Every structure is written in C-alpha cells, then in structure tokens.
C-alpha cells in the first residue's frame, strides 16, 4: 500500500495516524517532491475509477490561474487535465491510498482510510 501525501495537510496526517494505529504496512510518497508522471496519474485514476477532474483541487490558486473551472470535462479533454496534474501536483486531491488489491481511495475521511485497509 502506498499513500500520496502533502505533510502540511491535516487530512494526510490523520490518514497516516490511522494507518499507524492499525499497524498497516505502507510507504509514503510526498507527491509534491516525488511528482507522479502522467502514466502514474492515469494508473491511479483507473484504480480510483475516477476522472482527472474528480481529483483536482479546483480552489487552489494554480487552478484559478489555469482557469480549470472552465475546462471541458470530457474524454477529449482528459489528457489536458492529466497533464495539468503532472505539471502542477499541488492540484492533486490528497491523500490518495493505493490498496493492496489494485484499487485506490481518496482517504479524506477515516471511513475511506479504513476502506483501503480492508481491501
């Protein structure tokens, strides 16, 4: 199991605390420093069953500068969104936990983290 975190994020710290309390075996990826490639983002999206706009933090200053709220959300725009996430990793929703069964969850709640642990 791997968890993508921003150490400054309280949701990320909560998820780590819960994983530790449950004795989970996981690795931490500080995705702002170890930026995921477009292929890795595609893989995580497939594992999540989501589209790139579903995991984009549209309230971030960078998102506003890029005008992301105005971007189309369709198949023809998917690559553009993925590129934006790779170029601006701060826009990626966090934390993302890749579960041992090949799926992933956005672990913003204790329930989501426990869901990843049960997989």
Instruction: Tell me which residues are annotated as active site.
Output: 9
Number of other residues whose CB lies within 10 A of the CB of residue 3: 25
Distance CA 93, CA 101 (A): 21
Distance CA 98, CA 73 (A): 24
Distance CA 99, CA 81 (A): 24
Looking up tokens 């933090």 gives 57
User: CA dist 52 to 27, 85, 98, Å?
Assistant: 23, 8, 16
């Amino acid at each position: 199991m791997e968890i993508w975190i921003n150490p400054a994020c309280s949701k990320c710290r909560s998820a780590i605390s819960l994983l530790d309390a449950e004795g989970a075996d996981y690795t931490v990826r500080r995705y702002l420093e170890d930026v995921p490639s477009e292929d890795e983002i595609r893989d995580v999206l497939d594992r999540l069953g989501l589209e790139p706009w579903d995991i984009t933090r549209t309230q971030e200053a960078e998102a506003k500068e890029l005008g992301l709220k105005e971007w189309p959300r369709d198949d023809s725009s998917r690559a553009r969104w993925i590129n934006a996430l790779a170029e601006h990793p701060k826009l990626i929703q966090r934390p993302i936990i890749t579960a041992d069964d090949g799926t992933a969850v956005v672990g913003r709640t204790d329930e989501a983290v426990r869901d990843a642990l049960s997989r």
